Amino acid sequence: MTSIVSGSTRMSLFLQVLLIFALMPVTQALRAQTLVVIVNPSIGVQHLSRREALDIFLGRYRTFPSGASALPIDLDINSDERKQFYLMLAKKDPADMSSYWARLTFSGKISPPFAVADGHMAVDIVANNPNAIAYVDRSSVDNRVRIALEITP
């Protein structure tokens, strides 16, 4: 957005303002995408609270509330979904998250979740691994997985 403005230096201020307003719906649309936390239906987890989900992804617990072990799957570190997920659930930006994991690397006990390239890959893993848990855009979800939590801003 900034680059557009700086790239149109010859535009009048009026036009610049207009453009900003014109682009706003696009941003809204981006935000509007809905993230969901998915689990394998076989694990028997019907619903997860935001905290339960977060505790699994941050390494606090490696089990579902039911006691079954949990295997969190992260999305690519640069993906928009991953950024949104932690921003909404833990209120931490990617830098904070990196710092968090960095502190834990030397203790060796807890390591960050395994990351996959995109949502489809994540859905595949969850579909095939009963202990897996992941977050994806709602649009990527198919009936092989169960939505345990819907993350709304």
Interface with another protein by CB under 8 A: which residues?
Answer: 51, 54, 58-60, 89-92, 100, 103-104, 107-110
Which CB atom, from 83 or from 92, has the smaller least distance to another protein?
A: 92
Considering only CA atoms, which of 136, 125, 117 is closest in space to residue 53?
136
Which CB atom, from 7 or from 108, has the smaller least distance to another protein?
A: 108
Strand residue runs (E) in 20-152: 35-39, 71-75, 114-116, 132-137, 146-151
Nearest-approach distance from CB 149 to another protein, in angstroms: 16
| Integer CA distances (angstroms), 139 to 15, 33, 40, 122, in order | 35, 8, 17, 13
Which CB atom, from 58 or from 122, has the smaller least distance to another protein?
A: 58
Nearest-approach distance from CB 67 to another protein, in angstroms: 17
Nearest-approach distance from CB 110 to another protein, in angstroms: 6
Which CB atom, from 10 or from 103, has the smaller least distance to another protein?
A: 103
| Integer CA distances (angstroms), 70 to 34, 62, 78, 134, in order | 23, 5, 24, 10
Nearest-approach distance from CB 4 to another protein, in angstroms: 35
* Residue with token string 């819907």: 150
